[in-house]
Amino acid sequence: MGSLQAFALEVALVAAATFSALLLRDNFETSPDHIAALIPYLFASLCVSSAVFLAAGTHRGLWRFASVSDGVAISAAAAATALGAMALGFSYNRLEGVPRSLPLLQGLLIVAYLGGARLAARVGDVRGMRRAPAQPDVAAPSRRKTVLVVGLGRLADLYLRCVAELAAERVHVAGILGLSDRHVGRLARGVPILGLTEAASSVIYALETHGVIVDAVVVAADFDRFSPAAQAALLALETDGRIKLEFLAEQIGLALRAGDEETAAAPDEPVVEPAFARGETELERVAGRSVWRLKRLLDVSIAGTLLLLCAPVMLCVAIGVAADVGAPVTFWQLRPGLNGRAFKLYKFRTMRAAHDPLGRRIAEDNRLSQFGVFLRRSRLDELPQLVNILRGEMSFVGPRPLLAVDQPADCVARLLVRPGLTGWAQVKGGRQLSVNDKTALDLWYLRNATLALDGAVLLLTAQMLFFGERIDQRAVDAAWRELRATARADDV
């Protein structure tokens, strides 16, 4: 069943729930007058539910993979449908002839009907198997193996369940490769179906563009049943050697092996100073200060105001991006945020597509347009991050969010607060600084954060836009002195 059919069935179940609510209210002895009075309310319910279900995306999930998170989404959509229909009906005829208890019964029956339909699909597909919770959010991206799952059958469902229950902190399922076009864009147990197996290389490259590095492809289906093109695409990944190909029939692939741990850190990787790993208990106390709560209040009010004021500018930038590099106009990357939870950091696109119309790879230097250079130089490409701030994923000032692969393994302290649109390290050297110097400056900011310091950082950011980035060596030296002093105090 495709997503369009699922959506139509959901709306039909809303209609059935509405009639059922009337029958229950009238003890199954309803009259033609009651049915006639219900028609405007039913029409309002169908209009509201269509908009609500499209926005919630409940129809995109594969019903046989339904999970607890799907139940929460259905409950929220049912409540919104009942409230919206009640408001629309009241504005039309003050709900004349509609019993006041009907919206409550309607909402409960919508949940029962939609949930029951999914339960029936699950029981029919995987009889007797216990339901597992949805995969939790990313906790420590730098320590998790990222995989793509190939297949949409019972074996794939079993793998997703096992990951959620046994290896949620060690394995992150970035997506699923399906075998049919009608599944692409939908969800299975909360995991998106990103494309067909034949396009495995393209999907992996697209994920890398968003900062998601795939470590392994788990084949959770009978390989012999794949099309020749799908088999060739998977075997090409194995031949390339960069990404592991794991056949679930031979190896479940959840346990960490010694070889994985040894290759996690190359011997020539730069050693971060031990001071980073020290004093983190003290930094946790710093992260509990009231200044962070005050910052959050200011972030919400200022971000909301700026979104309204900057809407015309963002519209002009979006039009310029669409004309320059095409759709989509925004771009996201997965970054570790507060407490290591991953979030999507949004920007306006500044680079053209990676391949030309003939499918040839375009050199990185040739992908950045002049308009893109202007957006990066003026920082206008960062405007969509106002939405990240409003949603609580970022702050205006804080440690700049890094890609998971760039996050210092010995300095998780910088993840104790929300990452910033700008920060102390950015205004004291930015991209000209080494990773270690940036980390030292970020830790200095954590210990010394005040609203006045945030104001100074914002002013210095405006100055940086006009005069460019310059390393402030005195600030770097001060950060290192404080960091080493704290490390010595910890040793005493």
DSSP 264-328: HS-TTSPPPPGGGGSSHHHHHHHHTSTHHHHHHHHHHHHHHHHHHHHHHHHHHHHHHHHHHT-S-
* 213/251 same-domain check: yes
Residue 466 sits in the same domain as residue 417: yes
CA atoms lying within 13 Å on the CB side of residue 433 = 24
pLDDT band at residue 350 using 50, 70 and 90 as cut-offs: confident
**360 and 245 fall within a common domain:** no
CA dihedral of 273, 275, 281, 282, whole degrees rounded to 10: -140
Helix (H, G, I), strand (E, B) or coil at 29: coil
Q: Are residues 321 and 455 in the same domain?
A: yes
pLDDT value at residue 386 = 92
Inform me whether the pLDDT recorded for 141 exceeds 50.
no
Out of 93-102, 245-254, 387-396, 453-462, least confident range: 245-254
Same domain, 317 and 430: yes
Q: Looking at residues 131-158, what average pLDDT do you find?
A: 65
Confidence (pTM): 0.50
What is the pLDDT, as a whole number, of residue 83?
A: 92
We report the CATH number of the domain holding residue 185 as 3.40.50.720
Distance CA 305, CA 302 (A): 5
Mean pLDDT score of the chain: 79
Name the pLDDT band for 43 (thresholds 50, 70, 90): very high
Q: Are residues 309 and 203 in the same domain?
A: no
Residue 134 is assigned to a structural domain of this protein: no
In a domain, 261, yes or no: no
Tokens at 220, concatenated: 């959770």
d(CA 44, CA 38): 10
Q: Structurally, how many domains does the chain consist of?
A: 3
> Within this chain, do residues 239 and 305 fall inside the same structural domain, yes or no?
no
Q: Which of 57, 90, 125 is the last residue in one of the domains? A: 125
Strand spans (E) along 374-477 = 395-397, 420-422
- End-to-end, the C-alpha distance of the chain in Å comes to 66
Instruction: For residue 77, tell me if it sits in a domain.
Output: yes
Helices 3-25 and 32-56 pack at an angle, to 10 degrees, of 150
Domain end marker among 201, 225, 256: 256
Domain boundaries, position 456: 279-491
265 lies in a domain?
A: no
pLDDT of residue 13: 92
Which range, 29-33, 101-105, 226-230, 265-269, has the best average confidence (pLDDT)?
A: 101-105
440 neighbors 408 (Cβ within 8 angstroms): no
- Indicate whether 341 and 412 sit together in one domain: yes
Question: Residues, the chain, total?
Answer: 492
Is 47 part of a structural domain of the chain?
yes
Interacting residues of 317 by C-beta distance below 8 A, sequence separation 6+: 329, 348, 375, 380, 381, 383
Residue 135 placed within a domain: no
Residue 152 resides in a domain: yes
- Split at pLDDT 50, 70, 90, the class of 260 is very low
For residues 376 and 344, membership in a common domain is answered with yes
Q: What is the DSSP letter of 41?
A: H
For residues 65-84, give the mean pLDDT: 81
Q: Residue 371 above 70 pLDDT?
A: yes
Q: Are residues 390 and 324 in the same domain?
A: yes
User: How wide is the angle at C-alpha 67 spanned by C-alphas 62 and 68, nearest 5°?
Assistant: 145
In a domain, 56, yes or no: yes
